[in-house]
Structures are given as structure tokens and as C-alpha cells.
Amino acid sequence: MTSPATAGSLIRVLAALRGVRDPELDEPITSLGFVTSATVSSEGAAQVRLRLPTYFCAPNFAFLMVADAYDAVAALPGVRRTEVVLEDHFASDAINGGVAARAGFARSFDGEAVGELHELRADFLRKAIMAGTDQVCRPLLDAGADPAALLELTLGEVPPSAALERLRQRRAELGLPSADDAPLVIDPATGARVSAEAAPLHLRRARTTRISLESNGSICRGMLRRRYDVPGLGEEEP
């Protein structure tokens, strides 16, 4: 039987998992349907089971999701022991064992990796920022804004939206300017304002990046649905 205290812990675990993203798709693992189950015992032992759209999803991204889920849950007050299990994946054993042992990626895949995944994560944050730039700029362009005028805008001058908040967060994560006075359109590699000359191509690329990420997400959702009949915890269509 679930006690009120356990139920409270479970809600906190789910909230924590909502903060864990698939770095490739830049979406929470919950809404993607990747969380099979989550439980917390009265002794504070949390167990999370994760699943992915295919048996062969890239092991580096899978590792990041399992490790991030572990960190997010283990940091919660009242959680004394954490176990995160990735199911039905070719590298489940290496990933689950490596994360449980806090071994890092290179040690978990001994001889098959030379480094950790920080650079990979940063590369995909830059993609998320490009995609996010389109998500924020497109409504402005559709409303008649001149592309050149977008370059003059700061983050603080853009009407508030979930997309804007997300863009700010991604930029902050990468250590890029994210305060109200920061330019809306920047080069995610350098943080510099994009020049008028470079802007059309930059915005075009932002759009392509967004379509790529969203299309991948739609394929992943379709594959997950073929693989598992039951929706994941917190799963939702975008």
C-alpha cells in the first residue's frame, strides 16, 4: 500500500524526471514516453525503469539519459538509494552497471570510448539553441517582422513564451548570454551577435535544425509505439 509520504516522493521523482532530456531530441524523457515506471519504497529506495524506441538507439545518448535520471532522482530529499534500469537495449548491462557504479562513460565502455560525453552534450545543446531560435523567431516573422529587425532585438524585448524560456535555459546551460539585454539571435558556437550579412543563412539553418529535431522526435514516438503498447509515465504528444 502506498503511504502519503511515498506518494509524495513519487511525485517528486516524476518531477525530477521531467527535467531529464533526451539530448538528441531536446525533449523531456517523460513526454517522449521513455519512462516505463518509477517507484519509491517507504525506506526511500527509488527505482526508475527506462525504455527507448529501438534496441539499437545510440549508446552514448542512452548513457546520458540514464546517468542524468540517476543524478536527478538521487539528489531528491528522502531518496536514500537510487536504481535506474534501461530495459531492452543492446548495451543495457554496460550502461546500467556503469551508471550504478558512477563509473563514467569511458570506463563503462572500456576500450570502446576515449572520453566522456561533455562535448557531445555541448554539440547537441548548440543544435537545441538553433532549433529554439527558430521556435522563437518564426512567430515574429509570421507576424510580419523584418528578419533584419530580429537582429536588433534582445531577449527581454521578445514577448514571453515557453519557447523563449527554453531558449534562455539552453543558452545559460552552455554559458552563453541569456539575460534580458542579450541579443535574441546569436551564434551558438561563439555567443556573438549574428551579423546582418550572415542572418538569412543563420535563420534558414535554424529552421532546418528545428525540423530535423522535430522529425526525429516524431519517428522516435512512432517507433516507441510499435515497440510498446502501454504509454510511458508522463508521455504526451507535442
Partner 1 sequence: MYEKNGEKYFVVDGHMHYWNAAPDNWVPGAEQYAKGWIECFHAYQGLGPPATHWTLEHFQKYSEDDLMKDVFEDGHVDVAVFQPTYLKEWYKEGFNTTERNAEMGEHHPGKFVYNTRFDPRDGDEGLEHLRRNVDRYGSTGVKLYTAEWNAGSRGYKLTDPAAYRFLEAAQALGIKNIHVHKGPTIWPLDKDAFDVADVDHAATDFPELNFIVEHVGLPRIEDFCFMATQEPNVYAGLAVVIGGLMHARPRFFAKVMGELLFWVGEDKMLFGSDYAIWEPKWQVEGFVDWEMPGGEEFTDYPRLTAEGKKKILGLNAAKLYGIEVPAEYQLKDGGTPGAQEVLAGQPEEHAVSGA
The radius of gyration computed from the CA coordinates of the chain, to the nearest angstrom, equals 20
According to CB under 8 A, which one of 209, 233, 234, 235 is a site residue for partner 1?
Answer: 209
Taking the C-alpha atoms of residue 232 and residue 21, their distance in angstroms, rounded to an integer, is: 15
E strands of 94-188, at which residues?
Answer: none
Say whether residue 34 binds partner 1 (CB under 8 A).
no
Contacts of 90 (CB under 8 A, 6+ apart): 55, 56, 59
Say whether residue 189 binds partner 1 (CB under 8 A).
no
Residue 45 or residue 148: which is nearer to partner 1 going by CB? 148
Quick one: cell of 171? 543558452
User: By the 8 A CB rule, do 9 and 44 touch?
Assistant: yes
β-sheet bridge partners, residue 83: 47
Taking the C-alpha atoms of residue 50 and residue 21, their distance in angstroms, rounded to an integer, is: 12
Residue 173 or residue 214: which is nearer to partner 1 going by CB? 214
Say whether residue 122 binds partner 1 (CB under 8 A).
no
Contacts of 220 (CB under 8 A, 6+ apart): 22, 25, 32, 53
According to CB under 8 A, which one of 57, 86, 136, 233 is a site residue for partner 1?
Answer: 57
What is the secondary structure of 185-200 as a DSSP string? Answer: SB-TTT-PBPPTTTHH
According to CB under 8 A, which one of 13, 20, 22, 24 is a site residue for partner 1?
Answer: 24
According to CB under 8 A, which one of 87, 112, 165, 180 is a site residue for partner 1?
Answer: 112
**Considering the complex, what minimum distance in angstroms separates the CB of residue 57 from partner 1?**
6
Number of residues that bind partner 1 (CB under 8 A): 48
Among the residue ranges 6-14, 34-42, 141-149, 168-176, the one whose residues contact partner 1 (CB under 8 A)? 141-149
Say whether residue 229 binds partner 1 (CB under 8 A).
no
According to CB under 8 A, which one of 179, 205, 231, 236 is a site residue for partner 1?
Answer: 205
Q: Which residue has the cell 531560435?
A: 133
User: By the 8 A CB rule, do 5 and 42 touch?
Assistant: yes
Quick one: cell of 51? 525504455
Quick one: cell of 56? 539499437
Say whether residue 219 binds partner 1 (CB under 8 A).
yes
Residue 138 or residue 166: which is nearer to partner 1 going by CB? 138
Say whether residue 71 binds partner 1 (CB under 8 A).
no
Among the residue ranges 42-50, 51-59, 72-80, 153-161, the one whose residues contact partner 1 (CB under 8 A)? 51-59
Q: Which residues are near partner 1 by CB under 8 A?
A: 24, 53-60, 90, 105-106, 109, 111-117, 119-120, 123, 127, 130, 141-142, 147, 199-201, 203-205, 208-209, 211-212, 214-216, 218-219, 222-223, 225-227
